[in-house]
Each structure stands twice: as C-alpha cells, then as structure tokens.
C-alpha cells in the first residue's frame, strides 16, 4: 500500500488554523528556516482512509487471540479509556497549582495505596514510563541505597540466564556489571551457582518470579535470604505479576523493590508499543531515594535523598487513570485474575503436551514454553515457521526464541480474559499445524499466505537500512 507521502498532492490540505488576529511577527530573518518541509498535503477524507487501511493491517487484542508470552495481552476494558479521556484529567497542565489538581493527586495517592497492598511494599513512584524504565529506576534506588551507606564497592547485579533482555540492559544503564546465574535442570535458579556468585561485590539480584519459562521458583525464600545475607538487595521484575497477583506479594517473599507494568497486569492498552507505565514500588528504607515530586498535603515535595527524575513530570498519568479504573472494578478479587490466567495456561499446556515438547513439563503459572528443537531437528520446521503458520488462523503468535535457555522456544501466555472456546480453537490450530509439520512441512515453512504481506526480508532491512521515505 502507498505511503501517506505518495498520496500527497501539492495544494491539497485541511484548514485547521484561523487567520491571525494580531499583527504577524516572527523572530528576525537570520533565525528562520530556509529549507522546505515535506509533510503530506492530503484531504481529511483521504487521510482517514489511509489510516483506516493501516488499521486493517494491524492486529490488536480485539482482533483475536494474542497469546504473546511475557506481554500479558489481556482485554483492555473500555471504561478505562472513557475515564482517561475525561477533560478533568486530559486537560490538566502538569504545572497547575496543586489546589487545582486535587482530584488527580488523590487518584495517584489511591493508586499508590492499592499497589502497595498488592505488592506488600511501602511506597510507589510513578515516574517510570515503561517496564524497562521501572527496572532502571529500581536499580538506581538500589545504587543510591548502597552509596548512601558508604557501600559503593558493590558493583555487580546478578541476573538469571532466563531473564528478560531488559534486565541486563538496565543493569548496564545503572552502571552495574551483569553477572549471569545459571538455571538448573528444572528451569529455576541454580542455588549453587547463585551462592558461588554472591559476595561483597553483590549489589543485588534481579528476578522474575514466575520466571520466563513460567515457573514459580520453589526456593524463592532461600534465594532472597541468601542475597540479603550477602548484603545485596532483591529486585522483582513485575512483568509476570499477572501470575501471582493477589496470591503472592513480592515484599512478603523477600523482595525490596519491584516494577509493575500497568500495561500488562493492570489492563491498560499497549498502543502498538507504548505508552506503558512502569511504577516502581519499594520498601520503606528505599523511600528516601525515590525520584520525582509527590503531592503531600497540597504541597509538592521531593524525597530527601532523591535520585532525581526519570521523566519530566509525574510519569504517564493517563495510563495511571486507566489502571486505577481497572483496580476499582476488580477490587479485592484481584486473585481471580491470577487464578484464571494460570488455569488457562495450564489448560493449553496440558492439551498440547502430548505432541509439542514442553520445555519444563510441570504445573506452569501464567505462561508455558514449548521447546520445538527436537521437532526442528527432524523436520527443519522452526519456531518461526510455527509462529507464521498461526497467522493464517487469525491468532497472534506466541513470543518466539525467548527465553534464550530454551532452543526454538514458543512462549505462550493466554491471559485470564480468554474463554475456553478461544483456547480450544487455538489448541486445534496448534494441532493442525503439528500435523502439517509432518505431512506438508513446506506449507508451514511458506506461511503465512493470508496476510497483507508475506514473510519479510529482515536481513535486507538490516543490511540496507532504509529508515525513512526519500522525497
């Protein structure tokens, strides 16, 4: 399909702005732009059709099943959107006087209380704009804490080999050296390897629990105890919180700081990649280091040893409105989210495990991982091929080639908002694809066939980078 620039005709356009009602005055000539700007010249009708055509070439949660592992693609309730669009929130200037934004600050304070109760933590900062930003924030809190105690020689962050890629990348941004901890044969943290790497240089451990293969670490209490004994702090990557919300509180199992993804666990939409919101919750001894301004009794105040600011203002406020709306709806029944999420994942796992190799065949949490390697070795049909084949069934593929500890991984997270029928249909699709792998492997390798474009050449895109339209 054409780019919007290719639909542009000189002289066309839309009249948005009125004539100037004051004398036209610009900065002096030598300050002015000389080059022309190429922007589309297009009528509202043509523009509307362009974006409608683009929308038809996109796949959202409302278009069909979206079991993208680690991303928690649950339903995004409509009421959330309605509330976030209220002018009483959407039209607030961030630098309005505090007494004119009491409702907004009350909402933030209430949401903080809810999230503290859910995580067991003492405080929350809403500064981070996304999950990875929350990780970075949490690690800076850990760093500030150690430095404040004169313990600045702690330079290492331990990260399991199954961790999200953001964990080591965040550690680097926080100035830490990443030390990789091996997983054991059960897919959870290898305690001996952990012990071998703990020491006076340990600043902390980053852990997702359940981890990225969907398993709850049975040794979690011992893991956090060992890290604390070595003088480190424990960071909980809350990307997988949906599995245990209302059932396990990260603070109760020894974690000191956590980020949550409001755009995963708390039902706010992903918007094709963002905006998210990654609030970071912490125990009280980390509160003095929290970033950003917080409204207390009508005054904006900053924590005494604050690390600074992660974003310009108060974080992604309208995303917070959506998450707050969600929590008001669910209330104390949040545990039902985890229950149905875990049930749906186990149901799918159980119904597929006779044919697809499950990476760690045990009760999973909110997601499970197929390791397609044995099938790939026999048939040369890869995880990528299976993912592409699912597209022709109207199903968004699972996360693939992650976690790295499983070869040819397909990571499936159905979420709690899917019905049994949807799961059954997906199971049927997976089973049909399995038959095709052995009976007509090329049909899987050539998939998809029904999408607006066929398989795209990633290598060409990277080798001959073409990142913009040339006029």
Partner 1 sequence: MGTFIPNTKEEQLQMLNEIGYKDFDDLFKVIPDEAKVKGELNLPEGLSEIEVDRKVQALANKNVIFRSIFRGAGAYNHYVPSAVDAIANKEEFLTAYTPYQAEISQGILQSIFEYQTMIAEITGMDIANASMYDGASAAAEACWMCKDRRHSTIYVSGAIDERILRVINTYSFGRESKVVVIPAKNGVTDAEALKAALADDPAASCFLMQYPNFYGVVEDAEELCKITKEAGAKFIMYVQPLSLGVLKTPGEIGADIAVGEGQPLGLGLEFGGPYLGFLSTRQENMRQIPGRLIGETVDTRGDRGFVLTIQAREQHIRREKASSNICSNEAWCALRAGIYLSTIGPKGFEQVATLCSSKAHYMAAELDKIGMKLAYDGEFWNEFVTTCPDADKLNAALEAKGILGGLKICDGNVLWCCTELNSKEDIDEVVAIAKEVF
Nearest to 307 by CA among 168, 116, 153, 175: 175
Q: Per DSSP, what are the bridge partners of residue 236? A: 207, 258
Interacting positions 124-153 with partner 1 (CB under 8 A): 129-133, 135-136, 139-140, 143-144
Residues numbered 19 to 48 that lie near partner 1 (CB under 8 A) are: 20-28, 31-42, 44, 47-48
Closest by Cα among 160, 135, 166, 176 to 259: 135
Q: State how far the Cα of 262 lies from the Cα of 127, in Å rounded to an integer.
A: 12
Contact 202, 194 (CB under 8 A): no
Name 124's bridge partners.
281
> Mask of contacts with partner 1, 370-409, x by CB under 8 A?
-----------------xx--x----xx-x--x-------
Q: If binding means CB under 8 A, how many residues of this protein chain bind partner 1?
A: 198
Considering only residues 237 to 256 of the shown chain, the ones binding partner 1 according to CB under 8 A are 244, 246-249, 252-253
Q: Which is nearer to partner 1, 284 or 462 (CB)?
A: 462
Long-range contacts of 406-409 (CB under 8 A, 24+ apart): 406/213, 406/359, 406/369, 406/371, 406/373, 407/371, 407/372, 407/373, 407/376, 408/371, 408/372, 408/373, 408/375, 408/376, 408/382, 408/383, 409/359, 409/369, 409/370, 409/371, 409/372, 409/383
Shortest distance in whole angstroms from residue 196 CB to partner 1: 19
Q: Measured from the CB atom, is 59 or 431 closer to partner 1?
A: 59
Q: Does 220 bind partner 1 (CB under 8 A)?
A: yes
Among 62, 297, 299, 304, binds partner 1 (CB under 8 A): 62
Place of tokens 């084949």: 389
Assign residue 202 a region: left if phi > 0, alpha if psi is -120 to 50, beta otherwise? beta
Q: At 205, list the tokens.
A: 């451990």
Residue 342 sits in the site that holds partner 1 (CB under 8 A): yes
Q: How far is the CB of 392 from partner 1 (least distance, A)?
A: 10
Q: Does 414 bind partner 1 (CB under 8 A)?
A: no
Among 200, 271, 298, 374, binds partner 1 (CB under 8 A): 271
Given candidates 378, 380, 420, 428, which one binds partner 1 under the rule CB under 8 A? 420
Residue 454 as a binder of partner 1 (CB under 8 A): the answer is yes
Which of 118/374 has CB closer to partner 1?
A: 118
Least CB distance from residue 319 to partner 1, whole Å? Answer: 6
For residues 109 and 24, what is the distance between their CA atoms, to the nearest angstrom? 46
Burial letters 65-101, b for 16+ CB under 10 A, else e? bbbbbbbbbbebbeebeebbeeeebeeeeeeeeeeeb
Q: Which is nearer to partner 1, 86 or 374 (CB)?
A: 86
> Residue 156, interface with partner 1 (CB under 8 A)?
no
> Is residue 58 at the binding interface for partner 1, with CB under 8 A as the rule?
yes
Using rule CB under 8 A, residue 429 touches partner 1: no
Among 14, 153, 199, 432, binds partner 1 (CB under 8 A): 14
Distance CA 461, CA 69 (A): 26
273 binds partner 1 (CB under 8 A): yes
Window of 104-112, 279-287, 366-374, 429-437 that interacts with partner 1 by CB under 8 A? 104-112
Residue 416's contacts (CB-CB under 8 Å, 6 or more residues apart) are 74, 242, 336, 337, 338, 339, 340, 341, 343, 344
List binders of partner 1 among 281-320 (CB under 8 A): 291, 307-319
Q: Binding of partner 1 at residue 51 (CB under 8 A)?
A: yes
Closer to partner 1 by CB, 80 or 371: give it: 80
Choices 53-61, 191-199, 373-381, 434-442; region in contact with partner 1 by CB under 8 A: 53-61
Query: How far, in Å, CA of 444 to CA of 391, rounded?
Result: 11
Q: How far is CA 250 from CA 54, 187, 233, 257, in A?
A: 41, 20, 13, 8
């Amino acid at each position: 399909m054409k780019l919007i620039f290719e639909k542009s005709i000189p002289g066309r356009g839309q009249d948005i702005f009125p004539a100037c009602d004051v004398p036209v005055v610009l900065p002096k000539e030598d300050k002015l732009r000389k080059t022309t700007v190429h922007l589309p010249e297009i009528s509202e009708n043509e523009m509307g059709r362009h974006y409608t055509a683009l929308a038809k070439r996109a796949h959202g949660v409302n278009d069909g099943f979206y079991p993208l592992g680690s991303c928690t693609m649950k339903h995004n309730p409509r009421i959330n959107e309605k509330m976030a669009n209220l002018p009483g929130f959407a039209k607030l200037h961030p630098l309005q006087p505090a007494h004119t934004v009491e409702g907004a600050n009350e909402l933030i304070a209430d949401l903080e209380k809810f999230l503290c109760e859910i995580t067991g933590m003492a405080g929350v900062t809403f500064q981070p704009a996304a999950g990875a930003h929350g990780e970075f924030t949490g690690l800076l809190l850990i760093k500030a804490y150690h430095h404040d105690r004169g313990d600045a020689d702690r330079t290492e962050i331990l990260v399991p080999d199954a961790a999200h890629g953001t964990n080591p990348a965040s550690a680097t941004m926080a100035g830490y050296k990443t030390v990789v901890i091996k997983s054991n044969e059960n897919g959870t943290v290898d305690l001996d390897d952990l012990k071998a790497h703990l020491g006076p240089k340990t600043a902390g451990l980053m852990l997702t629990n359940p981890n990225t293969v969907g398993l709850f670490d049975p040794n979690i209490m011992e893991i956090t105890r060992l890290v604390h004994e070595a003088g480190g702090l424990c960071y909980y990557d809350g990307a997988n919180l949906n599995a245990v919300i209302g059932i396990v509180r990260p603070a109760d199992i020894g974690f000191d700081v956590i980020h949550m993804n409001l755009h995963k666990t708390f039902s706010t939409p992903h918007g094709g990649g963002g905006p998210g919101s990654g609030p970071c919750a912490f125990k009280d001894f980390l509160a003095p280091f929290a970033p950003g301004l917080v409204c207390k009794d009508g005054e904006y105040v900053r924590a005494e040893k604050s690390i600074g600011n992660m974003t310009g203002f108060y974080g992604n406020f309208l995303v917070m409105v959506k998450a707050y709306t969600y929590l008001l709806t669910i209330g104390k029944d949040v545990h039902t989210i985890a229950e149905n999420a875990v049930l749906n994942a186990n149901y799918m796992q159980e119904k597929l495990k006779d044919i697809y190799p499950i990476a760690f065949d045990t009760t999973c949490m909110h997601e499970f991982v197929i390791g397609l390697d044995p099938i790939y070795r026999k048939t040369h049909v890869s995880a990528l091929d299976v993912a592409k084949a699912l597209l022709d069934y109207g199903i968004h593929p699972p996360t693939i080639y992650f976690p790295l500890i499983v070869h040819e991984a397909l990571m499936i997270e159905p979420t709690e908002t899917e019905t049994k029928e949807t799961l059954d249909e997906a199971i049927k699709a997976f089973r049909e694809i399995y038959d095709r792998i052995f009976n007509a492997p090329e049909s899987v390798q050539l998939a998809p066939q029904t999408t607006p474009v066929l398989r795209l050449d990633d290598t060409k895109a990277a080798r001959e980078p073409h990142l913009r339209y040339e006029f």
